[in-house]
Amino acid sequence: MTQQRAMNPTEWGLLLGLSILWGGSYFFIGVAVRELPPLTIMLLRVGIAALALNFVLRVMRQALPFDRNIWLAFFGMGLMNNVIPQTLIVWGQTQIPSGLASILNATTPLFAVLAAHFFTSDERMTINKLIGVGIGFVGAAVMIGPAALGGLGTHAWAQVAILAASLFYGLSGVFGRRFKRLGVTPLATATGQLTASTIMIMPFALLIDHLWALPMPGLATWGAIFGLALLATALAYLIFFRILSTAGATNLLLVTFLIPVSAVLLGFLFLGEYLELKHFAGMGLIAVGLAAIDGRLIGMFKNA
């Protein structure tokens, strides 16, 4: 049985870049929700990203495959990685604070480890992975702060929705491994699953949000939408499927631990926010957790 390898420096760099892109998505969404309803934001996000990546495909002289099985996989990936979890998170965050939602969403790597153990032959669960996931989860909770746990005893269904979204994210990482076996490039995979997501979301956005009746949003909202679509979605999914094809699902979904780090650092660098002791403590715990999951921490102790 093949054992999961540690990530190389390039893959760690891509993972950090992905965390920055997805960490910045919270800012873009925060701007967009002032003028647009959630399903419309989701449709514009995946729709514009799909158009951009289809254009890139043409420039690169590539084309989406026409194979029926591949398109079924595109729709399956779009459902598990976009439509279901994003809808659950948007609904959940209408009832619970974003900090609590972030802590609950940090369970994604745990679900990824469990899914990879049961559905793959080369990403089996190990003690160091479980320890690493636990430490990383605690680090994310410490960084976001104990105050976010204030609503833990209320709005149980909203919390279940966020946890269910994390489950689907974990499953999607394992499901997405099939595209490499099918011979689909990361660019075509990202384009196909976003195109399929757009097709699935469009009727719901039209029926529920009544797009034709919405007032035209302002320039700031359009800037946020294009940032969300082109940076936090199109570019992010290119990196997502590039890491997935080489490093595996468990390593890929460690990005969930890095997103709070990126969000805190971006706030410090560009919004003048202060870094508190809890932020440094959380970052330290997340670093230890990542090293444990990656296998390097155990290796250091063995070689000591």
Q: How far is 257 from 194, CA to CA, in rounded Å?
A: 24
pLDDT in tens, 55-91: 999 998 888 998 999 999 999 999 998 889 888 887 7
Nearest to 261 by CA among 282, 245, 278: 282
**Neighbouring C-beta atoms of residue 72, cutoff 10 Å:** 11
Residue 3 resides in a domain: no
Residue 193 resides in a domain: yes
Q: How far is 234 from 52, CA to CA, in rounded Å?
A: 7
> Could you list the residue range(s) of the whole structural domain that residue 109 is in?
9-303
Collapsing DSSP to helix, strand or coil, 132 comes out as helix
Structure tokens, 34: 């002032």
Q: How far is 20 from 78, CA to CA, in rounded Å?
A: 22
Q: How far is 187 from 101, CA to CA, in rounded Å?
A: 30
The torsion defined by the Cα of 273, 144, 230 and 59, in degrees rounded to 10, comes to 120
H or E stretch including 118?
helix 108-119
The total number of structural domains that make up the chain: 1
CB 124, CB 117: distance < 8 Å: yes
Which whole-number Å values give the CA distances from 126 to 12, 132, 240, 301, in the listed order? 21, 10, 24, 16
**Neighbouring C-beta atoms of residue 189, cutoff 10 Å:** 29
- pLDDT of 30 reads 72
Residue 1 resides in a domain: no
Residue 148 resides in a domain: yes
- pLDDT of 3 reads 46
Residue 2 resides in a domain: no
Residue 273 resides in a domain: yes
The secondary structure of residue 151, as a DSSP letter, is G
Q: How far is 198 from 206, CA to CA, in rounded Å?
A: 12
Structure tokens, 291: 């090293």
Q: How far is 62 from 60, CA to CA, in rounded Å?
A: 5
CA atoms within 13 A on the CB side of 246: 16
Which stretches of the chain drop beneath a pLDDT of 50?
1-3, 301, 303-304
Terminal-residue alpha carbon distance, the chain? 27
Nearest to 53 by CA among 196, 220, 155: 196
Residue 4 resides in a domain: no
Q: How far is 52 from 146, CA to CA, in rounded Å?
A: 40
**What b/e readout covers 245-274, taking b as 16+ CB neighbours within 10 angstroms?**
bbbbbbbbbbbbbbbbbbbbbbbeeeeeee
